[in-house]
Chains A and B, each alone.
Chain A
């Protein structure tokens, strides 16, 4: 059974804090993705990675960075959290190629 896990379901941080969101998949997938989802805006791609230590910017990378040191783990970093980064953050993974993505449970981040 496919499994993507995320480190926290709910997180509350203060403006200016550095925030780490972790994602782990156990399916040996090459591709991993970070999205944020906001009402009325749908899913927006922040970053994705197609291999260890490889990354590409998505549609909204500003204010975020990522790290992929191991195949199964993809981290999203908010360098200095701001209130407009309050959102639901979703991690996903897929096999190499145009195949199905599987999502983690999501992290609802609130920045105050």
Chain B
């Protein structure tokens, strides 16, 4: 079992819809969780961080964390074609270290 798992996609949503991206992780002691956006040929850009159970909202983005289910998600409201990118989930604190583990990413396509 991979430590951090994401569906590779592509996930296609129409412009204006809600895009829902999911991530599961294997280690219950993980402390912190991050979502990055990566455009083709560019480096990852931090979108959201979340440290405690529940929802965290920032503009059109909402991160949701459920530690009991070992699940973190990212919702993008009013999706725009410019949101088309690969979204990476990252988890820190696996196995008691400060090592960051990245999923392989979900490719999102927002159709105009």
Whether the pair B34, A100 counts as a contact (CB closer than 8 A) is yes
The docked-state distance in angstroms from the alpha carbon of A42 to that of B89 is 11
- Contact partner of A98 (CB less than 8 A), chosen from B31, B36, B45, B104, is B31
Number of A-B contacts (CB under 8 A): 46
Whether the pair B44, A103 counts as a contact (CB closer than 8 A) is yes
A25 in contact (CB, < 8 A) = no
- Residues on A with beta carbons closer than 8 Å to the beta carbon of B51: 98
Whether the pair A40, B104 counts as a contact (CB closer than 8 A) is yes
Whether the pair B90, A101 counts as a contact (CB closer than 8 A) is yes
- Contact partner of B98 (CB less than 8 A), chosen from A40, A42, A50, A105, is A50
- Residues on B with beta carbons closer than 8 Å to the beta carbon of A60: none
**A59-112: which have CB < 8 Å to B?**
90, 97-106
Size of the chain B interface, CB-CB below 8 angstroms:
22
Whether the pair B43, A103 counts as a contact (CB closer than 8 A) is yes
The docked-state distance in angstroms from the alpha carbon of A33 to that of B90 is 14
- Residues on B with beta carbons closer than 8 Å to the beta carbon of A105: 42-43
**A21-61: which have CB < 8 Å to B?**
31, 33, 40-43, 45, 48, 50, 58
- Residues on A with beta carbons closer than 8 Å to the beta carbon of B32: 98-99
- Residues on B with beta carbons closer than 8 Å to the beta carbon of A41: 104
- Contact partner of A90 (CB less than 8 A), chosen from B34, B43, B98, B103, is B43
Whether the pair B43, A31 counts as a contact (CB closer than 8 A) is no
The docked-state distance in angstroms from the alpha carbon of A43 to that of B103 is 8
- Contact partner of A100 (CB less than 8 A), chosen from B31, B46, B93, B103, is B46
A interface residues (Cβ-Cβ under 8 A, vs B): 31, 33, 40-43, 45, 48, 50, 58, 90, 97-106
B interface residues (Cβ-Cβ under 8 A, vs A): 31-32, 34, 36, 42-46, 49, 51, 88, 90, 92-93, 98-100, 102-105
